Structure formats: C-alpha cells, structure tokens
Structure 1
C-alpha cells in the first residue's frame, strides 16, 4: 500500500494525483475503449462521455468504501499481512499489464490502431456492449471491487482519522474520484475522436498510448519491487 504524508494539503494533493494515476490503469483504458467503440455509431453523444460515466460509477464505490471504513476505524485495524499482500498484488498486476500492452503494440500491424489491453476488461468483455448511461456507470462500479481499489480507499479513510472524522475521509475519496474523472473523462473524449479517424495520426497516437501504458505499468511495478527489497529506496521515496 502507499505511504501517505502527514500534512493535510500534501495528502489531499497526493490523493488527487493517485486518482489521476488510477484512471490511467490499463483496465480502465481498455474498458472505456470498448464502451466507446460500441457506442460511437449507435449513440455518438454517449460515446464521448463513456469515460466520465465509467469513472463516476467507479468513484461512487470508492466513496462508499471510504465512508464505511472511516466509520469502523475505531473498532478495526488493518492486519499487517495485508500490507505485503497488497504490494505484491499491485506489482504483479502492473507487470502483467505492462507486458500484455507492450505485446499488443508489437503485434499490431502497421496501419492498424492499437487497442489497450486490460485483465478485468477481458473477463467482463460482454459488459462493454451497453448503450445505457446507467449501465456504463454500473460497469465502472463493478470494476471498483478489486483489491487494489478497495485497499486504496481504505487507506485514505484510515489516514484521514489523523485529521478528523468521516468528513475528511469523504473529501479524500472525492478528490481521488476527481483525479480519476479527469483522466478517464479526457481519455473517453480522446478515444471517441480517435475512432472516428482512420488516418496516420490516429495510428501513431494509439501506438504512443500503448507504449506509455506499458512503460508506466512496468516502471511503477519495478519501483514498487525496489522499495520492497531495498530499505534505502523505501526511505528515499518517503522523503
């Protein structure tokens, strides 16, 4: 799990940035890509906002988890073993996502658009075939029931106890959702525009996006593993 700062404003800024980082998750990108592609001709107006709707549904679950954990924080403590398990689940998923997205870029033929790859998005591929705004948000909510998302929401809630009660947990959860909404919303608009284009620029842009997703996932996974095995790197990252 992430180690969060003790200063409130630094904490709020970091949580917002973590929300942006979370919105850049390959599963988010792949699912928003699928939802947008399905609606781009059936419902062009909805296609533009699939990213925002997905993020709102996802964020609603984060808010609910944060409030629940904040309410129970006085009578329940997170077991120590969850820290190690959470770290290695995140590292494993990021490494896998980085590899499959790098492979997708390398396998895509010249002249074709690269599609981002996610693990959960493959498991729930059929859910991407929906043209209802509420169902798009529901897909986002479903994706929030993962160890990574739930552990982050719980961490925000527990850290907020240093500054006050459930109100601070709610604010942190909303900041996380706002950061995620920014990333996913822009991504949805960008994909909608990209799908409508079949020129060279669209093909190059999709390859750049695929490489960025793969590179960022592998970099974060490597840094997480380095922090786990090296106290020096862990202390340096904590300031």
Structure 2
C-alpha cells in the first residue's frame, strides 16, 4: 500500500510575491533529504504553474508518496521540513487543507476511487476544473510511481530521473531502429555500407557547433522559467532531420532531374538557414550577456551584504532566501524585448520549428553526404522505401546525441550545487553563463562570416580560415562539449578556495538557527503538514480530511 499526502493551501492577501517565490524555492530543499534521495519517499510540488488563476485561491499543491512509515517520520522530523512549515508557511497561511490516502498502487480503480472522494469533498466544490485535472494527472501515475522507486546504479545517482529516462528512451529507439534495419539489410546486403555511413553522419552532425550552442542556450533559458527540460535536443534534432528526410524523399523520387538543379536550391537554403542560425545565436548571446552582467552585480551585492551583517552582528547568517538565479530584473526596453523573445520558445517542443529552419541551411558536409547517398541509390534503381533507411538512421543517430547533450546540460544546470546557498548559486550561474556567452558569440560570428561568404564569395587567407572552421563544425561542437565539462569540473574544484578568499577576514562564530523570526509561539504549534494520520470510516481507502483555518 502507498500512503499519499496532498496539501492545498493559500497565503494571506498581504503576503507579497517575494515571499511566495522564496517559499517555492524552500520547498525544493525537501528534495535533498536522504529519505527522498534514496527514493523511500517521493515529493512532488509545487505543481500549479499559474496557481492564482487555476485554483480559486488555493495557491500550492504539494504531493508526497511513501511506502515506509520510517521514511515519513524522518521527513517530518528534518530541520528542512520544520523550516518550511514553521518559518515560511504557517505564519503566512490563511487556509490549509490536507488529504491523506492509503491506496493500492497496483489497483488503478482504487487509485481513481480514492481520488474521486477528494474532488467531491464539500469544502472543495470551488476548485477549478483545471486544478482537478492537474491534480489527477500528477496523482494517477502508478506505473511511473513504481519506476521512480527503482534503485539507480551509483554512477547515475547524480542525474535526475527525467534525464536518465530521456536518454534511455533514445537509446532504446536507436536499438529498435537498428533491429528493423538489420532485417531489411539481411535481404539487401549491398546497402550495409551506406546505411552504416548514414548513421555515423547523423552522430557527427549532432556535434555540429550550432546544434550544441542552440540546445545548451535554450535549455538554460527554459530552466530560468522554472522548467526541467530534458527533451530540448530531441525536438530540435527532429525538426532539423525533418528537412533532411523530406529532401531525401524528393531527391530519390525525382532522381537525376532535381539532382542537376540542387546546387541552386542548396545556395538559397544555405543563405536562409545560416541567417536564422546566426541571428538566433547572436540574440541569445546578447541576452545571456545581460543576464551575466546582472548576475555579477547581484553576487557583489550579496557578498557585500554578508560582510556588512558579519561586521554588525558578529556572524554571517546562512542565506535562506534563494530566488531565481536565472532571472534578471530592472532594465528598460532591452530587457522587455529579450523577455518577449525568450517567451516565444517556452516549451521544449517549440524547438521543433527552430530545428526545421536550422535544417534549411544544408551547410555541412554530413547533410550533403546523406542527400548524395539517397541520390546515388535512386539513380541505381533502389526503391524509395529502401532509400528511407538512410535518413531514418541519420535521424536516429543525431537525435540520440542531441538529446544526450540537452539532458546532461539540464542535469548540470539543476545539480545540487545550485541549491545550497545563494553565493554558490550565483557562482555556478556566472561560470556557466559566461561559457554560453563566449560560445554563442563565437559560433554566431562564424555563421555571419559564412553568410558573407555565401553571398559575396570573398577570397583570402582569412576567408580560407572561416571555410576551414565551417568544414569542421563537428570538431568545434565536440570541443564545446569538452569546454563545458572541463570548465564545469574546474569551477567545482575552485569554488571552495574562491569562497575562502572572498570571505577572508570576515568574523565568524557559531551560526544562529535558521528559524528566528517566528520561533516564539510557532515552534510549539503543530504543523499542518505533520499532523498524524487519522483513520476514518470513509469508503474507497480514504483515510481522512483535515481543514485548518
């Protein structure tokens, strides 16, 4: 049996947005508890992205699942849980309602019956349909719930489940594709070599620098909006490969006729694709440069504030108000323009049309090669259905590496190092943002120079160098991956020496407890989230409802 806790509550009207955001950030610290990391207890929430509009005033939905009562006891006894409830929730909450369910996760009907009692409870007739759908989708996942409790190998412990899931899915898809292709190639052994070459070309193309830069930059921007996107690379590469597949079909269908005119089509597509690619990367470079500037300013302000408090109070209180370290406030028209631009791509799937536009370029040897393979096979009389094997293998290889890149970048940007304190958050954000600014500037400039080459066809050693870089974008892309890894690991090793140096000379003493302002009269008050379960007589395995006003 699984015990499910659902907590709905709303803040008082006078509670400002800063406290609400701080509370959400503090909730995330609960996921660092050992019982949660060991997956003896699963915590989900807050699950309402637009709470005020969707939930009739109930602004937060916090879910937790557990099989082990000892895990619940450990969870409720933790200082993190006590801090969240007594310092950030209880003094500010107007209405708190808790539901406790005991459900057989193997019996989906039991799951749904128990949940049905929740949505018809008289106190919650006012809950909007959107909130009910949100709760139901988060609640009705027994299969995924069992998956989350599966133990991971030690070397995967640092990776979020959605990262592992995305990479595993693409590996499985690649395996299925190769099994199907192997059956086809068994009857057409002459196609083995071009099929293998097509797959390798897809892997190579995934490492092109414009892929790496676009995926990493947009992963960072989506994380800044509060998402955990593991499929940015998947949708980008699917969009990119759509153009390759369609063009391969057209080339194969028209055979030599289109092949003779393909040079003109390639030139136009190259100009369009390169223009969009260069503009996108340079705009993201400018936007991330502005973010970097604001992050540096904020880090200086935080360090100065800590020094001032250390001098005046004799100790440096640990930061507890961890706000969104990717956000950048202030500024005028420029800031608003960037916010509108980044809002256009606010979901991973919206990378698909961007990938389509990027794919119009046909500016790398791998894309030209795969089209050449399709054309040659068509001239030799190969069936169009067999020719489709080549772009499908190309797509499978490219999607796997691009998905891995995006998922690993998401894991890096959301690692535990980002959730310790505000100084660590800002430090790692500055390091990673600095890398993205340099990379996007470099690739964007190369793309612009390549565009000039396509239009004006200039000559000289400088332009020969630009052509050489463009012809080896796979090496540049692999180097970018290496730079991210090396600089990321280096920043981890250098963080503690840097922290000691910037805080050198600050007076230190035993830090004060984190809970101070509401300690009197609150610590002894039972937390609405820690009220013991009370068994009731309700049907459908429903345990109890408690309403705290």
Fold shared by both chains (TM-score > 0.5):
yes
Aligned-pair distance for 1:21? 0.6
Aligned-pair distance for 1:187? 0.3
- In 2, the alpha carbon distance for the partners of 1:143 and 1:182 equals 18
Aligned-pair distance for 1:134? 3.5
Aligned-pair distance for 1:79? 6.4
Partner of 2:305: none
- Contact 1:156–1:173 (8 Å) recurs in 2: no
Aligned-pair distance for 1:37? 0.7
1:77-131: CA deviation from partner (whole Å, max 9, x where unpaired): 4369x5xx99xx9xxx9xxxxxxxxxxxxxxxxxxxxxxxx74642574776511
- In 2, the alpha carbon distance for the partners of 1:160 and 1:124 equals 41
Residues 53 and 76 (structure 1), Cα distance of their counterparts in 2 relative to 1, 3 Å cut: closer
Matches within 5 A, 1:103-118: none
Among 372, 377, 389, the residue aligned to 1:160: 377
- Contact 1:33–1:188 (8 Å) recurs in 2: yes
1:20-77: CA deviation from partner (whole Å, max 9, x where unpaired): 11010110011001210111142534x2110111111111111111001111114344
Q: TM (normalized to structure 1)?
A: 0.60
- Contact 2:198–2:370 (8 Å) recurs in 1: no
Residues 145 and 153 (structure 1), Cα distance of their counterparts in 2 relative to 1, 3 Å cut: farther
- In 1, the alpha carbon distance for the partners of 2:283 and 2:402 equals 18
Partner of 1:29: 212
Determine which structure has more spread, i.e. the larger CA radius of gyration. Answer: 2
Matches within 5 A, 1:1-239: 7-45=190-228, 47-78=229-260, 82=263, 119=278, 121-122=280-281, 125=284, 129=343, 130-148=345-363, 151-161=368-378, 162=380, 164-197=382-415, 221=468
Q: TM (normalized to structure 2)?
A: 0.28
Residues 158 and 165 (structure 1), Cα distance of their counterparts in 2 relative to 1, 3 Å cut: same
SS in 1 for 2:355: helix
- In 1, the alpha carbon distance for the partners of 2:398 and 2:217 equals 18
Q: Gaps spanning 5+ residues in structure 2: where?
A: 1-188, 285-337, 418-423, 444-464, 473-549
Q: Gaps spanning 5+ residues in structure 1: where?
A: 1-5, 94-117, 226-239
The structure showing larger relative contact order (alpha-carbon pairs under 8 Å, at least 6 residues apart) is 1
- In 2, the alpha carbon distance for the partners of 1:135 and 1:180 equals 18
- In 2, the alpha carbon distance for the partners of 1:11 and 1:124 equals 38
Residues 73 and 120 (structure 1), Cα distance of their counterparts in 2 relative to 1, 3 Å cut: farther
- In 2, the alpha carbon distance for the partners of 1:183 and 1:32 equals 11
1:139-190: CA deviation from partner (whole Å, max 9, x where unpaired): 1111000032563442132032236121122110111011100110100011
- Contact 1:53–1:133 (8 Å) recurs in 2: yes
Aligned residues between the structures: 180
Alpha-carbon RMSD: 3.9
- Contact 2:232–2:349 (8 Å) recurs in 1: no
- In 2, the alpha carbon distance for the partners of 1:65 and 1:76 equals 10
- Contact 1:120–1:143 (8 Å) recurs in 2: no
SS in 2 for 1:147: coil
1:191-214: CA deviation from partner (whole Å, max 9, x where unpaired): 11122245899969x98xx7xxx9
- In 1, the alpha carbon distance for the partners of 2:387 and 2:204 equals 19
- In 1, the alpha carbon distance for the partners of 2:342 and 2:209 equals 15
- Contact 2:239–2:353 (8 Å) recurs in 1: yes
Residues 186 and 35 (structure 1), Cα distance of their counterparts in 2 relative to 1, 3 Å cut: same
- Contact 2:194–2:373 (8 Å) recurs in 1: no
- In 2, the alpha carbon distance for the partners of 1:44 and 1:178 equals 26
- In 1, the alpha carbon distance for the partners of 2:384 and 2:283 equals 33
